[in-house]
Chain A
Amino acid sequence: MAVELVPRAAALRQVCDESADVKSFTFEFMDSSTLSSLPGQFVEVSLPGVGESTFAVSRLEDGGRRFHVSVKRMGHVTKALHRSAAGETIFVRGPYGKPFPVAAWKGKDILVIGGGIGLAPLRPVVDHILANRADYGKLDILFGARTPGDMIFQADLAAWGRDPGIKLVKTIDVECVDWDGCVGLLPNVVKQQAYRPDGSIAVVCGPPVMIRFTLAALRELGWPDEQVYTTLEMKMQCGIGQCGRCNIGGKYVCKDGPVFRLDQIPSVAL
C-alpha cells in the first residue's frame, strides 16, 4: 500500500501572475492520473528540500487532468513556488477534506463572498454553478481586496461581470482613483448590499478576521447558521487527520472540514 504522505510528481504547466504577491500554478500529474477534486477540497504541494504546504484547488480543467492552485507569497514554501517556472517538477498529494455540498444546493440562490486569496477555494464553486447553470438560482459574488491591484482572477472577474446571470460586487478597503466598484470592508459591504437569506446559501472565505466579521454581518441580516458555509483557516499539515495540529476540539479541519456549515463549527474556532 502506498504511503499516503508521499506525493505524486506533477509537471508545472503554467504560471500566471494574479497580483503583486499571488500567482496561480497549473499542474498535471506525470503519471497522467487525474485529480478528482470537488469544490472546496485541498491538496498538499511540496518541493523536496523546501517543504510542503496546504492549498485549496482553485480550478479543475479537463476533468481533473489539469488543476490549479493559487498561492500568495508568504513563507518559504510559497516563496520557492513563486520562483518556480513552467516545466519544473513539483509534488502534489490529495485531494483531501470535505467539499462544499454543491449537489445539495440545487434550486437555491447562491451568495459567494471572498476576501483576497480567500476567493481561491470558492472559484470551483462558481465554476460548478456556471457549468450547471440550470440547477441553481441567482448567483451573487462579492469579492473584496485591499487595493485594485490585489484583485486576483481578473479574467474571471471580467467574465462574471459580463454574465447577466451573475450579480458581481467588487470592493476595496480604501478609496482609490479610477475605481468604479464599492469601497469598504467586506462585512460593511455585506450589510450595505442587504443580501437576503430566503432560500439562499452563502459561502464565505478569507482571512480569519474577515471570516469572523462577515459571518456576524450575515447573522445580523437574518441568515440562519444552517444556510452559511465557510472553509476554515486553521493550520493543516498532513491533510489526513494524523499530525494533530488542525484540531478544533474533537474535529480536524483537514478531515471533518475544511468546509463547515456554520452551525457545525465549535464556537472556539470563531
Chain B
Amino acid sequence: MPWKKLAKSDLPAFLAELSTRAELIVPQEKSGKVRFLPFDAAQPVNFPSSLVDVSLKSVFFPKRRPVATFDPADRTKLEPAAPETSPRILLGAHPCDVAAVNYVDRVFIHSSFKDPLYEAERNRTTIIGMACSEMKPECHCTDRDLSPDDERGMDAVFYETSDAYLFRALNDKGAAILKSSLLKETSEEPQKKDWPGGKYPVDPSSLPSADDSLLSPPSSLFQDIADLCLTCGACTFACPTCTCFLISDEQHEGRGERVTAWDSCQFSGYSRMTGGHNPRKTRAARVRNRMLDKFVYTVEKYGATSCVGCGRCAIICPVGRHFPKEIAELSAKAKGR
C-alpha cells in the first residue's frame, strides 16, 4: 500500500476528523505521565519518540471490568455484561505495546475458553501503530525478537519525520481509516535504521524449568533478588503482558457487579487458600514464579515468551530491581552451569 503524508500542522484537523468517525484513543498526558486516553481536543496529543509511560493494557483489559450485574436486594439473577461494539481507533501504539496485545490475545482469544468481552474490544479497535524513532535507556525490544519499527499486529503504521507523519496501511481495516483528504500520497518513505541489541539477551532454553530439582525450594539466585523485592506488584501492573486477575463481587449504591480486577502473583494473598495453605508463601517463590513465567512457563502455556522488552518493570520498581538485567544474568549463569 502507498505511503501517505500528513503535515504536522494538519494533525489537529486529522485527529478531529478521526474522532468524528469513531471513538479515538491517543497518548495524552495526565497527572504527569503519558498514557492512552480518549481523545480530548483541549489537551495536546503527545506521540513519544518511544515508550508511552503507561502501557495500553487497560485499553483492552481494564483494571476493573464488570462481567455481570446483579440486584443486591434480589440476588437471584446475574445479568451478563454486553460486549461493546462501537468502532474505536487506537492511534500511536508502539511496536512493543502492540506485540503485548498480540500476546494477551493468546490468553483471552486463542485458548480453550474465549473471553467474548475482551474479543469484542479487540474487534472494534483499529490499531494505527507508531514506529519508534529512538530507543530509550531501558528499551530492549531488539533482545525480544522485536524492533522499534516492527509493524506486526498493526492495521496501519506511521513514522514521524521532521515536518510530517508518514502513514501506510497494512490491511483493509487500516486502509479504511487512512481515507482522508488530509493524507496525501507521497513517494517519500521513512528511513530505515539499524537498531542496536544485546543489552539484556535471554536464551529461554537455558532457563530452569519448574520441575528442576535445583529450584525446589527456590535457589539462592532467587533468594538474593527476593531480599531486595517488596513484592509490591508494581512491575506486574506496569507490565503490558501481565493479565492475572481476581474475580470479586462489589456493591455500590444499590447496584451489584461481578468484576474481574487486575491482581498480582507477587502478592502473598494471591495464592493463599482458605484455611491458610499457600503454595507460594515465600517472596523467593513468588519472585521465581514471575521471572520464569515470562520466559519459560508462558512458552509451555502459549508457545511464546511474554516479555516485549519495554523496560517498564525496571522504570517503575521502587527499590531499584532491574528485571531485564536479572533475567539476562540468570540466563547467562544457567548457560555456564
Contact = CB atoms under 8 A, between A and B. Distances in A.
Interface of A: 1-7, 9, 46-53, 74-75, 78, 89, 91, 207-208, 233-235, 237-238, 240-252, 255, 266-269
A261 B299 CA distance: 22
A3 B81 contact: yes
A261 B245 CA distance: 28
B270 interface: yes
Contacts of B209: 249-250, 266
Please give me the 9 A-B residue pairs with the lowest Cβ-Cβ distance, nearest first: A249-B210, A250-B300, A244-B244, A266-B211, A75-B274, A250-B297, A240-B113, A48-B70, A89-B76
Interface of B: 67-68, 70, 72, 75-78, 80-81, 107-108, 111-117, 209-211, 213, 215-216, 243-249, 251, 256, 258, 260, 263, 265, 270-275, 277, 279, 289, 292-293, 296-301
B245 A9 contact: no
Contact of A244 (B81, B251, B263): B263
A1 B263 contact: no
A243 B246 contact: yes
B258 A268 contact: no
A245 B265 contact: yes
Given A251-B300, A267-B216, 11 more contacts: A3-B80, A49-B70, A51-B248, A240-B111, A240-B112, A243-B244, A244-B263, A244-B265, A251-B210, A251-B301, A267-B213
Given A235-B279, A251-B300, A252-B301, A245 B78 contact: no
B213 A6 contact: no
A220 to B, nearest CB: 20
Contacts of B246: 237, 243
18 contacts: A3-B80, A6-B80, A7-B78, A51-B249, A53-B274, A234-B271, A235-B271, A237-B246, A242-B115, A243-B247, A244-B245, A244-B263, A244-B265, A245-B265, A249-B211, A250-B299, A252-B301, A268-B216
A250 B210 contact: yes
A9 B211 contact: no
A9 B75 CA distance: 10
B204 to A, nearest CB: 12
Nearest to A252: B301
Contacts of A240: 111-113
Contacts of A268: 210-211, 215-216
The interface centre, meaning the residue of B213, B279, B300 with most chain A CB atoms within 10 A of its CB, is B279
A245 B263 contact: yes
Contact of A250 (B70, B279, B301): B301
Contacts of A6: 67-68, 78, 80-81, 258
Contacts, number: 144
A80 B274 CA distance: 14
A224 B297 CA distance: 27
The interface centre, meaning the residue of B68, B248, B274, B292 with most chain A CB atoms within 10 A of its CB, is B274
A242 B107 contact: yes
Contact of B67 (A5, A47, A51, A267): A5
Contacts of B116: 1-3
A203 B41 CA distance: 64
Contacts of B77: 9
Nearest to A207: B277
A49 B299 CA distance: 37
B275 A74 contact: yes
A49 to B, nearest CB: 5
Contacts of A47: 75
A48 B78 contact: yes
Given A208-B277, A268-B215, A245 B247 contact: no
A240 B244 CA distance: 12
B251 A3 contact: no
The interface centre, meaning the residue of A3, A6, A89 with most chain B CB atoms within 10 A of its CB, is A3
Given A5-B67, A247-B297, A249-B300, A242 B113 contact: yes
A238 to B, nearest CB: 6
B251 A242 contact: no
Nearest to B297: A250
A217 to B, nearest CB: 20
Contacts of A243: 244-247, 260, 263
A48 B249 contact: yes
Contacts of B215: 268
Contact of B111 (A7, A49, A241, A249): A241
Contact of B270 (A48, A245, A249): A245
Contacts of B258: 5-6, 46, 48
Contacts of A207: 277
